[in-house]
Amino acid sequence: MTRHVETIHIDGVWRAAAAGTRREVLDPADGTTLAVVSEGGAEDADAAIAAARRAFDQGPWPHTPVAERAALLRRVAELLQRDREEIALTESRDTGKTLEEGRVDVDDVTNAFRYFADLVVNEGGGRVVDAGSDQVHSVVVHEPVGVCALITPWNYPLLQASWKIAPALAAGNTFVIKPSEITPLSTAHLIRLLAEAGLPAGVANIVTGPGDPVGARFAEHPQVDLVSFTGGLASGTRVMQAAAPSVKKVALELGGKNPNVVFADACATDEDFDTAVDQALNAAFIHSGQVCSAGSRLIVEQSVRERFVAELARRAQKIRLGRGTEKGVECGPLVSAEQLAKVEGYVASALREGAVLRCGGSRPEPAEERPATGYFYEPTVLDRCNRGMKVVREETFGPILTVETFRTEEEAVALANDTEYGLAGAVWTKDAGRARRVAGRLRHGTVWINDYHPYLPQAEWGGFGKSGIGRELGPSGLAEYREAKHIYQNLAPRPVRWFAG
């Protein structure tokens, strides 16, 4: 029997959509219905924003002492760990990722809540500004921005929600959130945990539904003070345009086309070679490549290209595809039939444009752990690629790795930076000087040296160019949800006598 999951929560109450509409959430491993959820619209969005507005203007949360806000975030972290297995299973079945990836996500979310709790509780009471007089007290303080509209993607629904919710609450804001209509279940679970932790009604509100009208209404609404969006470039552009008339704060994380640069000296020994190949696989194929920071562009030095790509393709063919909850499965399905079709289109265009298929390139044969009705696609390595190809320029969000080659350090940097995005990238080399030089020249928000994918909640995350505006995580991630206010106090006021009259 298909279960109905409540996914609209407004002013402390779970409710059906105003229009009574619902949506099926599908299991990408077999295409069957995983749950039925409420499908909200503009009326639900307006009600959620009104609740958040009241909670900010009239409620206690913005004025709750920092220590109490931090304590609530820590209670949420404990509840996340209590429900770790349940949430990880939900995330696996909803997105298709492996169960182990789901567990890692829950742990990372837990760390984010703990980090922002620690960050706000250890801050000082404002920055004293020297006004040049002992008769003036001048200080810069930070206050919550107000009502925050949070719009999150389908690939890491719980993680991306936490990167926004934790700092928003730590700063004293109220919020409305719209998770992807494809993967809303774990975000709804998090809203339940916030209520269980004692968050006042109206502070956290969720409306599930499509980007238009729900996300669009969030972005354009004049009672929203900030909109934070993570997703594709086209949708992010529309969010920015919708937000412009009300001149609200905007934060955008719009993905990337990320280079993984491998110099020959990183493959000098068999152990080095094995590590570089292994990390290239991880960079490209974790979560079936459905990662904004995926290392989908392998840029490898010409002298080791053939050996490197041959071994990469050999190992990629051995990746075990299947339902993410099955033991031994290393890679799950794509999230939807639409995403599968997009990936197939990118591979087809690459082959038409002259790329050489080294492995993959099709749907796998069905198996017990891999139903024919699931949205599976083989890890695919495309050799002899160049920047003129669509598959190299655009974010594919699938298990596709393109291979480009270089001969000099200058050429490697030029290739790595030849993208309209600038989210993340990596450089592999044994030469410490080269590592620092290349990392310093890469125009990407995160650069790994001899590693790929790790992030820290203490370090900012975001990108250059069309990868977005603003940063998540780190002190800057908290600053996104605050306004700076300068308070200047004259301790000995007297007439200025500027005007003689």
What tokens appear for 422 in the block? 């600038």
Q: CA-to-CA distance for 190 and 468, rounded, in angstroms?
A: 26
Question: Is 253 one of the annotated active-site residues of the chain?
Answer: yes
Torsions phi, psi for 486 (to 5 deg): -95, 125
Q: CA-to-CA distance for 120 and 117, rounded, in angstroms?
A: 6
Is 61:148 a contact under the CB 8 Å cutoff? Answer: no
N-term to C-term CA, the chain: 84
Q: What is the 3-state secondary structure (H, E, C) of 47-104?
A: HHHHHHHHHHHHCCHHHCCHHHHHHHHHHHHHHHHHCHHHHHHHHHHHHCCCHHHHHH
> Sheet holding 147-151: strands in order across?
13-14, 9-10, 204-206, 174-178, 147-151, 226-230, 249-253, 468-469
What tokens appear for 159 in the block? 């993680």
Of residues 340, 347, 342, 317, the one with CA closest to residue 330: 317
* Cα of 198 vs its chain's centroid, Å: 26
CA distances, 64 to each of 139, 271, 311 (Å): 21, 54, 57
Of residues 389, 387, 441, 445, the one with CA closest to residue 419: 387
What single letter denotes the amino acid at residue 397? F
Q: CA-to-CA distance for 274 and 266, rounded, in angstroms?
A: 10
| Beta-strand relationship, 33-38 and 127-128 | unpaired
Which one of the listed residues 39, 101, 181, 253 is annotated catalytic? 253
Torsions phi, psi for 158 (to 5 deg): -70, -45
For 277-306, letters b (16+ CB in 10 Å) and e give bebbbebbbbbbbbbbbbbbbbbbbeebbe
- Annotated active-site positions, please? 253
